[in-house]
Chains A and B, each alone.
Chain A
């Protein structure tokens, strides 16, 4: 809890900087309006109007907060298609779109993490894989995902795979990499002496894996899945752009089509909140696990 003050300070500074930037960013439009009406606009009016535009270049923080509130609680509670009235989530609410994104992210993250761990085990235990897999894994991450995503969607679509899975595949594509890198390092973390000790017991291979390599790799695993889950979210959002079947990515894109900057920003913040909660959740799991393993002092 002792780091809450610095965090709040930085947040406050960012919000102030944001408010300060709102005025010059949106001022031109207000001046044009005033000129067209043939009136003069005072600085006080300018400031208050730039904070309340329908389609600002840069929405003010409170506009984003209001939009976030309206498109979650208000939409579901009072909206015609909201959960209170229909029993299903409204397709205009960020709760619905956030859930679409979250479910694809979770699936993609699960696939990516399992794949990453399996590849890492392969690399550590198999000489051929050790020599061959890593360059490919690295090459896979040098291709821009924005170029690859539509191809994956189209290819999977043509074999009849649609919906959640194609987005999860893209998400997995981004999230397996940090897990491979971290787990290879983690599974190789035991030193010579710890391995020799196992040899003096003539321990079978699976015992060495379960009782030495796997526990040694836990700190590395948690560090890499924190990166992995954030990458999985990015992958899902990118995957949603060509699919157009809901999700925060769709909200971002449609917002930019119609110049709805407030909608873009609120979708962006919804994604950021989602990412922060997922990383935070893993952080909690990490603390509990490592504490039980006696590794967090």
Chain B
């Protein structure tokens, strides 16, 4: 579905990142090559320490690559960050406890200097999008974990970044809530056409959500397989029982196992 000639939104070439620790260097990423097209939903899956979160953080300019090149929207990650090219959703909701739900969603808008009227309009719109209307005046502790995570997604959507980077956003939630949020996220992605980078531990989650699945393995962190999903864009939850789904999941599992055998 992607136009092959279009410029990729995110492009990494021979990207490596080494952390210097007291126990010697840790190769968090080694020679990573990847390009992500506009409108892709790309999942990064792999065991802990495979560099999936690190890669996302490099894209977000929260970490600097040691060598290799990476461009985001054709710019350096730093320039992209300064141009507010992406919204980032962390593993925990990380809402500021002294702000109401509405206040939390408004936070990036205040910082980016939107007018008061625009702040109110956008806040209302994204809270509607994540189905949190009626909870505007609540403080985070008054909401469940799943609702807090939805608010943090609304916060990342409030300003019009084309890229959404999500670092295991549903990792701490129970499976029922997770299924529901996965469904909503897919709907949101189809409606907004954003490019999404999504880190996860869960094979079904990766297969259900993605147009492409990047399988990674640790020590050094590298990509072992990139799987193009053949599933249709319209994906009811029942699709997870289909043969096609199970085949893709199987391939992901194989990729993960192969990464481990290399060690």
A102 to B96 CA separation, bound complex (whole angstroms): 38
- A194 x B84 contact (CB < 8 A): no
The reply on B185 being an interface residue by CB < 8 A is no
Knowing A193-B90, A197-B88, A294-B139, say if A203 contacts B111 (CB, 8 Å).
yes
- A194 x B96 contact (CB < 8 A): yes
- B88 x A200 contact (CB < 8 A): yes
- A202 x B141 contact (CB < 8 A): no
Query: A294: nearest residue on chain B (CB-CB)?
Result: B139
Q: Mark A238-255, 1 if CB is under 8 A from B, else 0.
A: 000000000000000000
Chain A residues near B81: list those with CB within 8 A. Answer: 199-200, 202
A293 to B141 CA separation, bound complex (whole angstroms): 12
- A199 x B108 contact (CB < 8 A): no
Q: B241 CB to closest chain A CB, in angstroms?
A: 36
Among A196, A198, A212, find the residue whose CB has the most chain B CB atoms closer than 10 A: A196
Knowing A294-B97, A294-B98, say if A201 contacts B108 (CB, 8 Å).
yes
The reply on A49 being an interface residue by CB < 8 A is no
A226 to B96 CA separation, bound complex (whole angstroms): 25
The reply on B92 being an interface residue by CB < 8 A is yes
Q: A192 CB to closest chain B CB, in angstroms?
A: 10
- B98 x A293 contact (CB < 8 A): yes
A197, A201, A211, A215: which contacts B112 (Cβ < 8 A)?
A: A201
The reply on B233 being an interface residue by CB < 8 A is no
Query: B112: nearest residue on chain A (CB-CB)?
Result: A201
- B94 x A202 contact (CB < 8 A): no
B90, B92, B108, B141: which contacts A294 (Cβ < 8 A)?
A: B141
B86, B98, B141: which contacts A200 (Cβ < 8 A)?
A: B86
Within 8 A of B (CB), among A241-297: 293-295, 297
Chain B residues near A294: list those with CB within 8 A. Answer: 97-100, 139-141
Chain A residues near B98: list those with CB within 8 A. Answer: 215-216, 218, 293-295
Chain A residues near B100: list those with CB within 8 A. Answer: 294
The reply on B87 being an interface residue by CB < 8 A is yes
Chain A residues near B140: list those with CB within 8 A. Answer: 294
A100 to B90 CA separation, bound complex (whole angstroms): 55
Within 8 A of B (CB), among A200-245: 200-204, 207, 211-212, 215-216, 218
Among A201, A216, A293, find the residue whose CB has the most chain B CB atoms closer than 10 A: A201
Query: A191: nearest residue on chain B (CB-CB)?
Result: B94
Q: A211 CB to closest chain B CB, in angstroms?
A: 7
Q: A259 CB to closest chain B CB, in angstroms?
A: 55
Knowing A199-B62, A201-B111, A203-B111, say if A193 contacts B97 (CB, 8 Å).
no
Closest 7 CB pairs of A and B: A294-B139, A293-B98, A200-B88, A203-B111, A215-B98, A202-B82, A193-B94
29 chain-A/chain-B pairs, Cβ below 8 angstroms: A193-B91, A193-B92, A193-B94, A196-B62, A196-B88, A196-B90, A197-B94, A198-B111, A199-B61, A199-B62, A200-B86, A200-B88, A201-B84, A201-B107, A201-B112, A202-B81, A202-B82, A207-B111, A211-B110, A211-B111, A212-B96, A215-B98, A218-B98, A293-B98, A294-B97, A294-B98, A294-B100, A294-B140, A297-B141
Q: What residues of chain B have their CB less than 8 Å away from a CB belonging to chain A?
A: 60-62, 81-82, 84, 86-88, 90-92, 94, 96-100, 107-108, 110-112, 139-141
Knowing that A200-B60, A294-B99 touch, tell me 4 more A-B residue pairs with CB under 8 angstroms.
A201-B112, A202-B82, A294-B141, A295-B98
